[in-house]
Homo-oligomer: A and B are copies of this chain.
Amino acid sequence: MIRIAVDGMGGDYAPQVVVEGAVQAANDFSDLEIILVGQSDTLKRELNKHKVLGGKIVIEDAPEVVGMGDSPVAALRKKKNSSLAVCVDLVKRKEAHAVMSAGNTGAAVAAATLNLGLLPGIKRAGIAISAPTLRGITIAMDVGANLNPTSYELFQYAQMASIYAQEIFKKKNPSVGLLNIGEEESKGTEVLKEAYKILRDSPLNFIGNIEGRDFFTGKADCIICDGFVGNVVLKMCESVLETAVEIFTRELKKNPVTMLGAWLCKPALSAIQQETNYEEAGGAPLLGVNGTMIISHGISSARAIRNAIRVAGDMVANQVNQRIVEQAALCGPAAAGAKAEGKQA
């Protein structure tokens, strides 16, 4: 049985929606047990609204709550009994295999990095998101944990993203692209030029630099970038569909013929919305920490929470962290060119 600690108080619609998603996960996935962490009275009241098959949810009390706007460092220092801190602690004490939170992302990254530490050989943790493209799922890493990675950290992100793509999305020999402002090796910052060399000489399936225009086309299975540009791009992607729908709706409403046309097109639009639905991906792992942490979007629905819990379980079942430690050892600083290690941006 895989035990997942769920941050019951984290997220814009917590605890209601988080509890609902946790119940769905408990009922749908026979190999998972849920530890719902938060203010126990509140969580009990929410849990009583649902039917849990086979008693696979337990509640762990945590009186404090980290707000979405709290400073990550202050939240860690001042709220030692927050639902997030208790979740991470359960993983540290091996009472849970993984933690899932839809709360404050910065606080989740800080709590996991500081309390769990990093996997042996890994220099920095990063967030890997999975996004739908024209040719299936693409992994982008990092999308916000590390704003100024070194070239060696970027290389390790490529290693970790490749393993994630293999183990969770069953991609064989996943291709890796380095996000840059041009395809030539000579493009971009010094950090990117150095990362290009390390990646080129590594055993990874490196296909070279890719550009912003390659994001939606699925040119690479894994897109490697710093956390700043990754975060900007991720938030752009999230708003693209919404904006497109707003523009189309405005134009289509201008006359009855196009309105009829739009009505006839509805099944196709629903199919696209289903295909590009963030809910199915559910959550993004913080890769590199010594433990499994899945971070979900603050606006997550119950369905998204359920799927994020599923991803947490898949990470544990597929031993993603063990694979990362093996690869980091096999292809560490020595193999990747010791020169590169520790180089600063």
Contacts and interface: CB of A to CB of B under 8 A. Distances in A.
Q: What class of interface size applies to chain A in its complex with B?
A: 35 or more
Interface stretch (A109-117, A251-259, A288-296, A319-327): A251-259
Interface in A28-85: 69, 71
B231 A232 contact: no
A263 B233 CA distance: 33
Contacts of A265: 252, 258, 261-262, 265
Given A212-B239, A228-B189, A264 B268 contact: no
B213 A236 contact: yes
A233 to B, nearest CB: 6
Interface stretch (A19-27, A88-96, A242-250, A305-313): A242-250
B258 A272 contact: no
A238 B71 CA distance: 36
Nearest to A147: B189
Contact of A239 (B181, B216, B232): B216
Nearest to A184: B69
B258 A264 contact: yes
A187 to B, nearest CB: 9
Contact of A188 (B147, B186, B275): B147
A271 interface: yes
Contact of A271 (B189, B236, B251): B251
A189 B148 contact: yes
A76 B170 CA distance: 48
Given A213-B239, A262-B265, 6 more contacts: A134-B246, A147-B188, A213-B238, A217-B243, A228-B229, A258-B264
29 contacts: A144-B181, A147-B181, A147-B189, A148-B189, A181-B227, A181-B228, A181-B232, A189-B228, A211-B232, A211-B235, A213-B239, A215-B236, A215-B239, A216-B239, A217-B243, A232-B232, A233-B236, A247-B275, A251-B268, A251-B271, A254-B268, A254-B271, A258-B267, A261-B261, A261-B262, A261-B263, A261-B268, A264-B264, A265-B265
Interface of A: 69, 71, 134, 144, 147-148, 179, 181, 184, 186, 188-189, 211-217, 227-229, 231-240, 243-244, 246-248, 251-252, 254-255, 257-258, 260-269, 271-272, 275
